[in-house]
Structure 1
Amino acid sequence: MSETRKIRVDLDNHHVHLRQETVYRLFGDGYVLPQKKDLGGGEYVSTQTIAVQGPKGKIEGVRVIGPHRPFDQVELLASDAVKLGVSAPIAESGDLADACELTLVGPAGSATLRCGIIAARHVHIATKLLEELGLKNAQAVSITSGGPRSVTFHNVIVRENSDSDLSVIHMDFEEGNAAGVKTGDFLELEY
């Protein structure tokens, strides 16, 4: 029988990460994204949102995550891709090789970029726990939910969390809803 560990769930909605140049293009020269909620590790939810346009539709109010990043990335839900009329790959954050093209629209301008993905589910595991469990960064593990809709999520990528002692699985709302889990629930890590 495999060893298990309780991992807290954090469900993600669609959101966008922007390069500094894109922030300026969408919001104006010299603009700094204001902070609404601290996410830890230096990241925060901004008070700003943008619109995301595809060939067949548009989604308003997509939250911007700060601070700026070295790449532009829109993390979509699978249903968003259908609404927008795009084929977005399931990919790790920053892997934009096959990203779909989207138009980002802000109050000061727009940008059409190859930046759309559906984020692969992943688990951030604190460095100390990673070592204790004998796991490695980028290793795939399985995580199982409980309850009447219990499922096992396979191919969950491990990401080392050296910024805190927090261990958390990130998946999108659609995956969480399908499994009957919500932010704050705990799932079992299997390795």
Structure 2
Amino acid sequence: MNENEKKVIEQIVINTVKKLINEKDSPNRVVLGISNKHIHLSQEDIETLFGAGYQLTNIKDLKQPGQYAAKETVKVIGPKGCFEKVRILGPARPESQIEVSLTDARILGIQAPVCESGKLENTPGITLEGPNGKIALDKGVMVALRHIHMPLDIAARLNIKDKDWVSVETCGVRKTIFCNVLARVSDKYDYEMHLDTDEANAAGLKNDDYLKIIPNR
């Protein structure tokens, strides 16, 4: 390889790296976070499952400010099946909520609706078992609606408002366009898209992949 060929190859590499950096820095490029089944608990339910006055133990901060994975896990028991050691995410919430995939729901033997986090109306219940007790919840199991946490500055640049719907395009061998993605806009959010394990696996995605937002017009 002569010097001219080396310079051509070096320039190609430089241009490729610049292109990747520019794409990742573009406001319509959002990083992916894949959500496995997990639980959000009220403080009352935490104390029923783990003991009076119990506080969750933070073992890993999540990308969204103030959110973390707790050391504590519980058993989730459905009419047909169960899952051991399902991770709790903190901090405590006003109401308990269990987020699963459609595959998880079938294993448990329940029909969990696809809905926005926090919208617990018409969701089925489930039994949770911890080291200090058991709870039979009458609602709270859902398949979380695919969504994007979006800070105000990014939303303004993309002309997207809270509760708008967008589409998101992936790349790779199983290139996919996800429609009906809810934009959740707040100054309390870090920029991140959430899919569950079913959706991510179907599109061949992994954590920290970059996806492209296509605003619906």
2:192 matches 1:168: yes
2:69 matches 1:45: yes
2:104 matches 1:104: no
TM-score after normalising by structure 2? 0.84
Secondary structure at 2:125's aligned position in 1?
A: strand
Q: How does 1:19-30 map to 2 (within 5 A)?
A: 19-30=42-53
The offset of 1:25, in angstroms, is: 0.3
- Point out where structure 1 has 5 or more consecutive residues left out of the alignment: none
Instruction: Give the aligned CA root-mean-square deviation in angstroms.
Output: 1.3
User: Residue 111 and residue 178 in structure 1: after superposition, are their counterparts in 2 closer, same or farther (change >3 A)?
Assistant: same
Question: How far apart, in 2, do the equivalents of 1:91 and 1:19 lie?
Answer: 19
The offset of 1:161, in angstroms, is: 3.7
Amino acid at match of 1:155: N
Among candidates 148, 169, 192, match of residue 123 of structure 1: 148
**Larger relative contact order, structure 1 or 2 (CA cutoff 8 Å, min sep 6):** 1
Question: How far apart, in 2, do the equivalents of 1:19 and 1:116 lie?
Answer: 14
Structure 1 stretches of 4+ with a deviation exceeding 4 A read none
The percentage of counterpart residues that share the same residue type is: 38
- Aligned partner of 1:71 in structure 2 is 95
2:165 matches 1:140: yes
Q: Does structure 1 retain, via aligned residues, the 8 Å contact 2:48–2:132?
A: yes
Among candidates 82, 95, 100, match of residue 58 of structure 1: 82
Structure having the higher helix fraction is 2
The offset of 1:131, in angstroms, is: 1.1
Q: Does structure 2 retain, via aligned residues, the 8 Å contact 1:4–1:188?
A: no
- Point out where structure 2 has 5 or more consecutive residues left out of the alignment: 1-25
The offset of 1:176, in angstroms, is: 0.5
Question: How far apart, in 2, do the equivalents of 1:75 and 1:149 lie?
Answer: 25
Structure having the higher strand fraction is 1
2:24 matches 1:8: no
Number of equivalences:
188
- Aligned partner of 2:10 in structure 1 is none
